[in-house]
A and B are shown apart, each in its own frame.
Chain A
Amino acid sequence: MIELHRVSKVFSVGPVKVPALTDVSFRIGKGEFVVLTGASGAGKTTLLRLLYRDDLPSEGEVEVLGHEVGALRRSQVAALRRSIGVVFQDAKLLPARTVYENVAFVLRVLGTPRREITQRVFDALRVVGISARAQAYPAQLSQGEAQRASLARAIVRKPSLLLADEPTGNLDDAMEAEIIDVIKDIWAGGTTVVLATHQARLVQALHRRTVTLEGGRVVKDEG
């Protein structure tokens, strides 16, 4: 499913080279739930960005869903991303569209037939438990509801891989538990999940395989 082989990423800030990832190698199998953890700046987000080909590694190989991401053309990148759902700490909902429209937007830009859209959007909203708020605008949602809507948007295409970058970073404990339950449900449905978090308490509560990053290096891979 995912394989990283001696991956490094260096950012150049003027003449200064800042290493974000150094010699990272690990493998994630189909259907796994992997927690990526480490302090802020450890390289979690950079690693996720390499997985959905938002950035390229400076060295090494990143293989996702059978594709070496560095070798993909633009159209192939788009095709790869259609199999990946991504959620962020910030829900990134479109403020002028309702929850329903935000989720449907993804299907519409991908040319899904109109008759299928309503059914699939409501299926996704049901999975994340927010069908009742379908006509609400993002400004009318709590942070937990916004994150649920964001999750619905990520899974409405039934991706085989879900990448979640600090999805509970802005939430209180109760909302965090709800979102984690939703992500677990998605995983139980067969989706491979990679969840990045800096919250040690959450890592302990999840009891899943955990890859720990420190200064851009993998220092622990256990569970």
Chain B
Amino acid sequence: MLVFLIGEAIRDLRRAGRVAVSAIVLITLSLAALGGFWLLSSNLARAVANWRERVRIIVYLKREPGAGEMQALIDRVESVPGVAGVVYISKTDALRSLREVLGRDASVVAQLPSNPLPASLEVAPAAEAATPEGARALLARLQALPEADEVAGSADWVERLSQWQRLVTTIGLGIGAVLGLAAILTVTTATTLILHARRHETEIMRLVGAPESAIRLPLLLQGMMQGLVGAALALAVLVATHELVAPRLEPLVNITLGLPHVAFLPPASLVALLVAGTLLGGLGGWLARTRSDAR
């Protein structure tokens, strides 16, 4: 029975011709746009997560603590709310780092009469403190330490990146929704044409006592087929675009976002796009049937 109903749905699609093709193209466009923005957003989300992990607050100390004082200071800072970890950087370590940063120009350091760099604590904020508000509150708490000379660092720019990511997601959803709506309307139009072309079959089916499911299912199936084909084409477009564009973008993405490569959508997202396409098409088919019943 199912094979027969699928056969009927394919026959209907052929009848709908260009309108069905238009519906498939619109579903492809809407899901490709949605998938494209989703891909962009997921890579930005990866960058935000990476950078959130890399946020550090530096507490410059008024003086280098003695060997006995250092562990007590670290323990005290670790107990400050919002602190995930603390690394002590001695004056000597700071100077070594400077030399490494300067590279070939490190000889400049040798000209210094004494080590001007202060000892510091590199504080890794906990996840809840890696936001602008959390970081500002943590900064205030660290500034209150009697040993602290100056406190530097913020999560503002990470948050800005996060805002961009949210904006990209919203735009993607908006464009996807508008195109998706257009796709549903086109599938509805295609199905209405099919309903007209199928009227003799429907009449015969009702006359011989076919179950309602056998009358309705081909319409729903053809809508779902349009959606599935559209979604599969959208995935093909996304894969091809990613293969073509991602390698060219990677150097830029590496420098600006710190990502080693532009990742493609995970399998779960691909399945979600296929399901979304199938549902879009099915909804169009169902709407046309319901509208026809109402008339």
Contact = CB atoms under 8 A, between A and B. Distances in A.
Interface string A31-50: 00000000000000000000
Contacts of B1: 108, 111
A79 interface: yes
Contact of B207 (A74, A86, A111): A86
Interface residues of A, number: 23
A92 interface: yes
A167 to B, nearest CB: 15
Nearest to A77: B209
Nearest to A52: B207
Interface in B58-105: none
A109 B207 contact: no
Contacts of A153: 204
Nearest to B203: A92
A157 B204 CA distance: 13
A133 interface: no
Given A108-B4, A111-B1, A78 B201 contact: no
Interface of A: 52, 74-75, 77-84, 86, 92, 94-95, 105-106, 108-111, 153, 157
Given A108-B4, A109-B4, A78 B203 contact: no
A109 B214 contact: yes
A110 B207 contact: no
Interface centre among A84, A105, A109, A110 (most CB of B within 10 A): A109
A77 B209 CA distance: 7
Nearest to A107: B208
B212 A109 contact: no
B200 interface: yes
B218 to A, nearest CB: 10
A84 B208 CA distance: 7
A78 B200 contact: no
A194 to B, nearest CB: 15
A192 B13 CA distance: 40
Interface string B193-220: 0000000110111111111101100000
A80 B210 CA distance: 10
A74 B204 contact: no
A110 B200 contact: no
A81 B214 contact: no
B180 to A, nearest CB: 33
Contact of B211 (A75, A80, A105): A75
A49 to B, nearest CB: 11
Nearest to B215: A109
Nearest first, the 5 closest Cβ-Cβ pairs linking A and B are A81-B209, A82-B209, A109-B210, A78-B209, A111-B1
Interface string B208-241: 1111101100000000000000000000000000
5 contacts: A77-B209, A78-B210, A78-B211, A92-B204, A105-B201
Contact of B201 (A52, A81, A94): A94
B204 A81 contact: no
B201 A110 contact: no
Nearest to B207: A86
A108 B208 CA distance: 11
A92 B208 CA distance: 13
Nearest to A86: B207
Given A78-B209, A86-B207, 19 more contacts: A75-B212, A77-B209, A78-B211, A80-B209, A81-B207, A81-B209, A83-B209, A92-B200, A92-B203, A94-B201, A95-B200, A106-B208, A109-B4, A109-B210, A109-B214, A110-B209, A110-B211, A111-B214, A153-B204
Contacts of A106: 204, 208
A109 B208 contact: yes
A94 B204 CA distance: 9
Contacts of B214: 109-111
Contacts of A111: 1, 211, 214
Nearest to A95: B200
Contacts of B205: 109
Contacts of A95: 200
Contact of B208 (A74, A75, A81, A94): A81
A114 B214 CA distance: 16
Contacts of B200: 92, 94-95
Nearest to B200: A94
B9 to A, nearest CB: 13
